[in-house]
Amino acid sequence: MPRTLDRSVTDTPVVPDCVPRWISEGRSRAHDEIWQVILWNDDHNAIDHVVAVLLKTIDEISDVQAAVTVTLAAHHHGKVSVARCHQEKAERYRARLEGFGLTATLEKGE
C-alpha cells in the first residue's frame, strides 16, 4: 500500500527555537536595526554649506527651514541626529556627508 503524505506537516517549515526569528524569516539582522546618523559641529564649515549639504544628502530633510534647524542644533549642541534609518542607508548618509567635508558618525538607535 503506498504511503500518503500529510500535507499539513510538510507545508509548514519547522524552525528550531534556537534560531532567531529574523534568520528563520530570511531577513538580514542589520536591516531590522535602526541607526542614527549623527552630524557633528566643526569650526571650518560655514552654516550655509552645511544647510546645502543636508538638502543634497539626507532624504528626510527636504526643505530649507528643516535643514537650517538641524544645522543650528548641531552648532549649538555640538551634535545632532539628522536621520534614523536602517544601517545600509545610514552608512550611505554618513559617507555622503563626509564626502562634502562634514563630520558624521553612526549610533545604534532605540
Residue pLDDT, tens place only, 64-86: 999 999 999 999 999 999 999 99
How many domains, in total, are found in the chain? 1
Q: Hey, what long-range contacts does 49-52 have (CB within 8 A, 24 or more apart)?
A: 49/100, 49/101, 50/74, 50/102
SS3 call for 103? strand
Q: Let me know if residue 91 belongs to a domain.
A: yes
Q: Let me know if residue 1 belongs to a domain.
A: no
Q: Where residue 63 sits, what CATH number does that domain have?
A: 3.30.1390.10
Q: Let me know if residue 39 belongs to a domain.
A: yes
In the numeric block, which cell numbers belong to residue 62? 527636504
Measured distance CA(75)–CA(43) in Å, rounded:
9
Q: Let me know if residue 69 belongs to a domain.
A: yes
CB 35 within 8 A of CB 85: yes
Cross-strand pairs, 85: 35
Q: Let me know if residue 97 belongs to a domain.
A: yes
CB 71 within 8 A of CB 54: yes
How high is the pLDDT of residue 5? 45
Q: Let me know if residue 15 belongs to a domain.
A: no
Q: Let me know if residue 78 belongs to a domain.
A: yes
Q: Let me know if residue 19 belongs to a domain.
A: no
Assessment of whether the complete model's pTM goes beyond 0.85 = no
Over the stretch 8-53, which tens digit does the pLDDT of each residue have? 444 443 444 444 444 445 555 555 789 999 999 999 999 999 999 9
In which domain, by residue range, is 61 found? Answer: 30-108
